[in-house]
Structure 1
């Protein structure tokens, strides 16, 4: 069951009210799961079911995504706002330095939480922030094209396409290496999540100047990259390992940009190993 936490977050404009939708399952040390831009917490379903056997798993809809309301007017969707806000969210839930895993935008946020000392370990799956300017422009162009497709395609067409493997491939092959494995209901839900994401445009705008060029000290860090990532090439993982002292770089064979669906068991194992 999805629950909403409402709390006061520190922003550059002072304390502001924020609400975040989340799901909490399992038992053990807490593990926070952060999705990518345009996605929602359901992206983690294939993995969270496995991890909940030994972790208390908290999957969140970031503000402006999924069913979480947007940030208050005037509050930017940048790294300097998002990461402390997630720290305030953890405090609201009574989570004392949880482990964290994130994908894409969520991976970037996970690394920033690690840099701030707010978490016990970091697993970043294809995190943003290690691109060249040309790679960033390409990635953002792909994301905008996906968003335009989701906005212009009639809902009935999305539902019809999702019923076949070929249709699911047409809708999601940009982010999945094995799109036919995604269930029809999941494809419909995430396509609608992309078209309805109020935080999509301001997050992309804030990301134009985002680079992660700082070390993450004092916590275990794993950076994992699918070798079939069509949005952020895996060479960016090598840059991430060079930037983060002691980081473990893990290859995810046969996985795309959102690897949790392509190989749930492998992704769960990487997260579990890092958080041990």
Structure 2
């Protein structure tokens, strides 16, 4: 069952802000923090949790302003500079020192940020944001805005009706999944609602407008995985990521889309376990 943790985060300016994070924790072993993408929730990782938990203490979070976690308080940026210290404080409150960190999309960017800050034992980034050209970023943001607008325009009964069929699930989620028919109806409805209701969506997207990841991640093992059928952040961005982080291992996730955990759970779990040794 998910748990909720409330704590006080103190910024560099000395201001203290209350933060609340919902998370799911399973398994035993070295800690592995899982971070989802924009508009999603911790359940994006559900297909791989039972594959990871026999070997890792898995902590999948709803990022602030997504899922069931309230948005960050006013004065704390939802971008990388604001989120990395918040996630580090969350881990400290749990008593988890320098976990392995894996993230997808926005979560991949945040995972790399934690690694660069010395807050991660290892980093596995699946289609991380921040390695785009200007035109690629504008395309991705336009697609995300369209997905959000569609989720907000559809009444819940219409979403539930669409989710009953493989074709309907493809209509709702094929932008991020290569195999949307594998998503369950309940999961499809839940993630559509998560996208529709996310209070931090607009601010997080705005914060990412000028974001480029240009730093190496020294002293931390880094794995970058990219779905061969990623339609949101196209796979050539993985080559740029490898050039930015020369020591990283670049893995092709064959047949996977932007959110690969549901497309091939066994492959993604193996990549995460190999990357967190």
Instruction: Name the TM-score, length of structure 1 as normaliser.
Output: 0.99
Quick check: 1:242 aligned with 2:251? Answer: no
2:222 aligned with 1:221: yes
Listed as ranges, the matches of 1:168-187 within 5 Å are 168-187=169-188
Q: In 2, distance between residues paired with 1:144 and 1:74?
A: 24
What is the CA-CA distance between 1:10 and the residue it aligns to? 2.7
Partner of 2:102: 101
CA contact (8 A) 1:217 1:245 kept: no
How far 1:231 moved relative to its partner?
0.4
Rounded Cα–Cα distance in structure 1 between residues aligned with 2:49 and 2:202: 28
Structure 1 equivalent of residue 196 of structure 2 = 195
Check if 1:11 corresponds to 2:11: yes
Contact (CA 8 Å) 1:83, 1:113: kept in 2 or not?
Answer: yes
Residue of structure 1 equivalent to 2:256: 255
The answer to whether the Cα contact below 8 Å between 1:40 and 1:61 also exists between their aligned partners in 2 is: yes
Aligned length: 276
Shift of 1:63: 0.3
Distance 1:165 1:11 in 2: 46
The answer (yes or no) to whether the contact 1:224–1:252 under 8 Å persists in 2 is yes
Secondary structure of 1:71's aligned partner: coil
Name segments (4+ residues, structure 1) moved above 4 Å. none
Q: Residue 126 of structure 1 corresponds to which residue in structure 2?
A: 127
Once the two structures are TM-superposed, the CA of residue 239 in structure 1 deviates from its matched residue by 0.3
Shift of 1:75: 2.2
TM-superposed deviation, 1:76:
1.8
Q: Which stretch has the larger CA shift, 21-30 or 66-75?
A: 66-75
Residue in 1 that maps onto 2:72: 71
Unaligned runs of at least 5 residues, structure 2: none
Q: Residue 12 of structure 1: CA displacement?
A: 5.2
| Partners of 1:43 and 1:260 within 8 A in 2 | yes
Q: Which runs of 5+ in 1 are unaligned?
A: none
Q: Distance in 1 between matches of 2:195 and 2:254?
A: 26
In structure 1, the residue matched to 2:24 is: 23
Question: In structure 2, what is the Cα distance between the partners aligned to 1:10 and 1:236?
Answer: 35
Q: Single out whichever of 180-189 and 4-13 deviates more from structure 2.
A: 4-13
Match of 1:62 in 2: 63
C-alpha separation in 2, matches of 1:138 and 1:222: 25
Tell me, in whole angstroms, the C-alpha distance in 2 between the residues paired with 1:268 and 1:52. Answer: 10
| Partner of residue 139, structure 1 | 140
How far is 1:48 from its partner? 1.2
Residues 198-244 of structure 1: CA distance to partner in whole angstroms, max 9, x if unpaired?
01000000000111000001111000000100100000000000001
Cα deviation, residue 45, structure 1: 0.3
Q: CA RMSD in A?
A: 0.7
Alpha-carbon distance between aligned partners in 2 of 1:145 and 1:82, rounded to the nearest angstrom: 25
Structure 2 distance, partners of 1:212, 1:10, is 25
* TM norm structure 2: 0.98
CA distance in structure 2 between the partners assigned to 1:11 and 1:211 by the alignment? 23
- For residues 81 and 115 of structure 1, the distance between their equivalents in structure 2, rounded to whole angstroms, comes to 14
DSSP-derived class of the 1:261 partner: coil
